[in-house]
Amino acid sequence: MGMRILILFVLTLGISFFAAAQEMGKEKRDGKIYTIHAVEAGNTLYGLHRKYNVAIDDIIKANPSTKEGLKIGQKLYIPFVAEIDNKQVDTTFVHKIHKVKRKETLYGISKQYDCKVAELIELNPGVEEGLKVGRELKIPTDEISSIDNSAKNQKEERKPEKNVERDIAQDSTIQPGDSITKIEYQVEFQDSVVEYTVQKGETLYSISRRFMVPIEKLIEDNKIRKNTIKPGQELQIVLKKERIKEVEIREIVKLDSSQITNRPLLVPKKEVYKILVALPLKINENAEVLSGVYTSSTKLNKLTDLSVEFLMGAQMAIDSLEKLGLNASVEFFDTEGNLKKLKTILENGNTNNFDIVIGPFYPKLIEYTASWGLNNKVPVVAVTKIPTKVLENNPYVLSMIPSELTLIAGMAKYLAENHATASIVMINGESNETKQRISFFKDVFNKNLPKDTTASIKMTALGDVSGRVLVKSIDTDRKNFVICLSDDVQQIMKFVNTLNAAKNYTPKYGKSDIVMVGLQSWREINALNSYYKNRFTFHFAASNYLNYDLPETFAFTKEYRSRYNSDPSKYAFHGYDVMLSQLSELLLGYPQNDGLMNFFDVTPVGDQHGNENSSVFISKQKDFEIELLDIITNKKNFDVRKQ
């Protein structure tokens, strides 16, 4: 029996937009025949003009409202171009001619004439291999000319084909049930330029790995000074030249049947499962983009962008799960970030018979969904950070993101197990919340110390920014881990400046081995200069780690780029990891804990309470890049993937 996963709602957005045209037949109005077309996502006036061989002005004349843009579901009347006097008409587009100048690129030319790079390549074969100065390029326009080819066609005789491929059903060498090898080809072109905005925490290295472009090329193309970038900076990324090539079809997921475990009890075994993925896509707020009427300055709503990235990664996971034997109906639902909208699909009872709910993003929405899941005995997979209170007395909630306390516990355990002989220095807390974190850290640290170890945490006041107080706690003969668990930006900056002053206090302290330990959230502080994080080998506990150099990450990126003509963000990797691991575990009984950037050790936080991912990625900054040191979890059945 063939296994198929039904996608009830699919939205694929990337660098380019595409949707199959929907023709609904023909209709006669005022003595003229029109083709009826229903607008779908990705349709543009230019695309309709190319599809139906009708001038854009004629389409607008028949449909005046299109001047304001296209809307999904809109009914359009396209003037029908019929045969004239039974003659075959060859419709040819009239093109402008552009002579290539020095330093011009396909991307720049496409912007100059308001067309797409793909259209230039289609009209000018070979340009994907590079532009030559003086070459004349055909530029697409909306003008067409008709040439009568009937006389010419009558003179041509039909010649017998020597190599005609026989129908498979008539080929006696192919029998029902035989497997047929299908070779797929991937086409990638030169001069595909991405306009990218640098995000918080990103470096030249991480961006170069993500887009598979050398760091030197990024620096050269963007005239970057001192090899540093900052959040919000716009980069022009020229994707490297490639060629049409045969693509090796590889499975990202490979599971051995011996790995099958007992089925989790949260979901009863069924022939066909029904899954709801609730995301704040906010389609109505992105009508301009989704209609296809957009410019280079048009951007998605931020939440839509994140949701679509998650969705596309999830789709790839679903394809992998289908190959593993999952038979399920998956519905992607746009919550719009609105509780009222969410309640339209998650009513008082489970009338839609959902077996699992993935999402939603918003705290209020996840609280409602968690309560609904408990009442209807349906597991709810939370894909973003949630309040720990949501897990209380609700075994049907599964949180994929470890809480702040879980991350703190992971760092405490790591230091106790690996650096018990080092000098562990803790800065006193300035707030009740920080004091609670310190108390929790000390408790976990002491419980995980090796036997017969007398190590302890040295508490100290920060003192003034001269460093004269803090320097007293620095051991010049041992490695020092100086810990600050504050999340207050002002206090953090004072700590960093004081630590720097302590190291500069005397030449003796300048040679001391000092490591700065803080929270993951510090990476989002723009004022915290990377110089200090690099000087003190900043250590922090993170909820994930993405290594672009790994073969499996590279393979995923290539497949993602092939499917969506875009490069995956962390939300795409997260969507893939969450969907693959949780649906594989809950519905198929396969343990798939090791993701592309996540590791899943999802266990109950207590009897009759919800489940939380306890995996903590101990990371450090070295040479301005992030390295993975260890993964702290209850399961310890993984290999640490270092750069």
Selected residue with higher pLDDT from 526 and 238: 526
Structure tokens at 470: 């803090």
The confidence score (pLDDT) of residue 566 equals: 84
Mean pLDDT of 540-557: 92
How is 86-98 classified by DSSP, letter by letter?
A: TB-EEEEE--EEE
> So where are the chain's domains?
95-140, 185-247, 261-402+557-613, 405-542
Q: Tell me: domain 405-542, CATH 3.40.50, correct?
A: yes
Mean pLDDT of 328-341: 93
pLDDT 10s digits, 80-119: 875 333 334 444 556 789 988 876 777 678 777 877 766 7
Amino acid, single-letter form, for residue 272:
V
Is residue 289 over pLDDT 50? yes
SS3 per-residue string spanning 614-625: CCEEEEEEECCE
Q: Tell me: domain 95-140, CATH 3.30.210.10, correct?
A: no
Mean pLDDT of 329-333: 93
Going by pLDDT thresholds of 50, 70 and 90, the confidence category of residue 425 is: very high
Mean pLDDT of 252-267: 48
**Which among 317, 397, 412, 339 has a CA at the least distance from the CA of 605?**
397
The confidence score (pLDDT) of residue 146 equals: 46
The confidence score (pLDDT) of residue 287 equals: 63
The DSSP secondary-structure symbol of 387 reads: -
The confidence score (pLDDT) of residue 205 equals: 65
The confidence score (pLDDT) of residue 296 equals: 54
Mean pLDDT of 381-387: 95
pLDDT 10s digits, 130-180: 778 888 988 887 555 544 444 444 434 444 433 333 333 333 333 333 333
The confidence score (pLDDT) of residue 386 equals: 94
Going by pLDDT thresholds of 50, 70 and 90, the confidence category of residue 325 is: confident
The confidence score (pLDDT) of residue 297 equals: 59
Is residue 21 over pLDDT 60? no
Selected residue with higher pLDDT from 223 and 577: 577
The confidence score (pLDDT) of residue 19 equals: 31
Going by pLDDT thresholds of 50, 70 and 90, the confidence category of residue 596 is: very high
Domains 95-140 and 185-247 are alike in CATH topology: yes
Distance from C-alpha of 139 to C-alpha of 49, rounded to nearest angstrom: 15
Structure tokens at 178: 């035989």
Is residue 268 over pLDDT 60? yes
Distance from C-alpha of 547 to C-alpha of 639, rounded to nearest angstrom: 13
What global pTM score does this model have?
Answer: 0.63
Structure tokens at 32: 């003229």
pLDDT mean across residues, the chain: 78
Is residue 544 over pLDDT 90? yes
Distances, alpha carbon 604 to alpha carbons 20, 391, 395, in Å: 45, 9, 7
Going by pLDDT thresholds of 50, 70 and 90, the confidence category of residue 252 is: very low
Q: Tell me: domain 185-247, CATH 3.40.30.10, correct?
A: no
CATH architecture of 261-402+557-613: 3-Layer(aba) Sandwich (3.40)
Is residue 636 over pLDDT 90? no
The confidence score (pLDDT) of residue 572 equals: 96
Going by pLDDT thresholds of 50, 70 and 90, the confidence category of residue 13 is: very low
pLDDT 10s digits, 166-206: 333 333 333 333 333 333 334 444 445 677 788 776 777 66
The DSSP secondary-structure symbol of 241 reads: P
pLDDT 10s digits, 459-507: 999 999 999 999 999 999 999 999 999 999 999 999 999 999 999 999 9
The confidence score (pLDDT) of residue 224 equals: 86
Q: How many CB atoms lie within 10 A of CB 77?
A: 18
Structure tokens at 457: 């945490």
